[in-house]
Structure 1
């Protein structure tokens, strides 16, 4: 199989490239050329936002395209148009953010989406940018366009910093503020499972939206944090704290305490979605232990400092705020 990945050197894109190489596929990536690509992968240097940025793809043909673009939908539009007739399937890595917020508990792919346009040149509104990218792919590839509506993505190469922050904080040891309740369900997808499913979907000729996240019962906050303690080998003591004092201290869920959102409307939207469609289509979610072990191994291999996307806010709790809450 011949695969073209638009991007291909960071987090999800890198996971897709490695999965395809592992299958023995012929892989080409288009990107700005700032980072190394795996051995055997063909790189085409091009900036999708610049005039002539897709010229390096002229004349090429591929079986499938995977696009991980997160900015202006117009770039997806231009790429899809340039590749029309030269690929059989276009897999666009979208987001569950494309749904109108808040999505109710148990929502699935039929939930209302935000208003958007494939011609939009802006990307400040992440939800509209992702929905616009879906429309751009669909306008050219029709039912051969797959929308991978990812939820929380974790795993090696993470460039947002959510799981790396928890691993780094817990590795320091001592009392650790653990946001409760302990049995709070967390839905996430390992980037490598997303990658494997995306390649399978392209091969099978799937199309349309698929919510890409684990079942609600796949993990809890306790399982995630306890596993962080185990893999780091630290003497960290998890101090489980109810949501009320945490929120009263001005701590922001999701950013100050990554992954965590207290029970309520936001938690229902982020961690209580119905994923029966993607599970029926063959999604396999690896154990939580494997995701955390492999992320820690990767993090240590790069010196303990995870890369950060410049377009995303810094995550993690101020140590002074944590200390105040621990001493309350």
Structure 2
């Protein structure tokens, strides 16, 4: 098949490109070229999807069997690409998120859960927010038609080339050794999916011409937070690392060292009502359609291997551009704050 990736150079788009090339498909990527280099073997078209002239240049003399959109963040972006490509491709995959559901993360969500009320014609340039993904979905369905559209509501993606800094932060923190603040209940289960498993499932559905909606993440109960941290410690070879568990209430107590859930200690989701359903998305439809998830230990090992071999800021890519260090950690607690908390509670 001939597949167009809107994005295609970093993390999820890269995983789609790698798997599609391995299956023998012809792949075109459309991106600005500002992050990582595109994979060898793809046709690269440089451009900004917010610029009409760039989109027009993309479709000039080209058509595809299918489109995969991993990069739309604004409904106006999705509307413009869907309108332009509906006569140039037969199938449109839009990678959305569980964030699009109005009930998440407080409640369990399924494919039939209500979406945030964000319209398809929302003006461009909106500040980032969960409802925008719902507007993007509506824009794709309006522009391409439900009979030719596939919506994948992604859960939390992890794996090599991760650009969110969550699994990389924990691996690198474990590698530094010493006493590590371990938040909350070690028995609380999580839902995370390897980016390669997500892309493989998406391509399986695409090549079959599947339409509709799929909540796409690991099934509930497959992994606990304790297993997550212990695996990170083992994979990073941190034999001298000690996990110091501190309960949710102590970390959430008001004061100068109150800890911000999710970001200061990545993926820590305390047991509070507003996060009851954060790891309880119903993935039954996706599993029935063939979704398979590899063990977390394999993902952690592969991510650690990538972290140790990623390009430095001084390297150049195949196009001669200065390299950009991938997955620069953007999350994580300040070391001094972690030490104060360990002294207080450990």
Q: Which interval holds the TM-score relative to the shorter structure?
A: over 0.9
1:113 matches 2:115: yes
Determine the C-alpha separation between the residues in 1 that align with 2:326 and 2:41: 26
Per the alignment, do residues 93 and 104 of structure 1 end up closer, same or farther by CA in structure 2, a change over 3 Å counting?
same
SS at 2:68's partner residue? strand
Structure 1 gaps, min length 5: none
- Cα distance change on mapping 1:52 and 1:155 into 2, 3 Å: same
Which residue is 2:315 aligned to? none
Q: How many residues align?
A: 324
**Using the alignment, how far apart are the partners of 2:95 and 2:86 within structure 1?**
18
Q: Are the aligned partners of 2:108 and 2:278 in contact in 1 as well (CA < 8 Å)?
A: no
1:191 and 2:198 correspond? no
Question: How big is each residue's C-alpha offset from its partner over 1:82-136, in whole Å with a ceiling of 9 and x where there is no partner?
Answer: 1112212101111111011445543211111111122221331422221111111
TM-score by length of 2: 0.89
For 2:131, what is the secondary structure of its paired residue?
Answer: helix
CA contact (8 A) 2:155 2:192 kept: yes
Instruction: Find 1:246's aligned residue among 233, 244, 251.
Output: 251
- The question of whether the paired residues in 2 share the 8 Å contact of 1:256 and 1:317 is answered with yes
Pick the aligned partner of 2:125 from 122, 125, 130: 122
**Does structure 2 conserve the Cα–Cα contact (< 8 Å) formed by 1:122 and 1:129?**
no
1:147 paired residue among 134, 145, 151: 151
CA contact (8 A) 1:164 1:306 kept: no
The match for 1:134 is 137
Matched, 1:204 2:220: no
1:49 counterpart residue number: 50
Aligned match of 2:309 in 268, 278, 301? 301
Provide the TM-score with structure 1 as the length reference: 0.94
Report the Cα distance in structure 1 between the residues aligned to 2:220 and 2:9, rounded to whole angstroms. 30
Aligned-partner Cα distance in 2 for 1:2–1:21: 10
Cα–Cα, structure 1 residues 91 and 308, in superposed 2: closer, same or farther, change >3 Å?
Answer: farther
Identify the match of residue 95 of structure 2 among 88, 93, 115. 93
Preserved contact between residue 103 and residue 109 of structure 2 (Cα < 8 Å): no
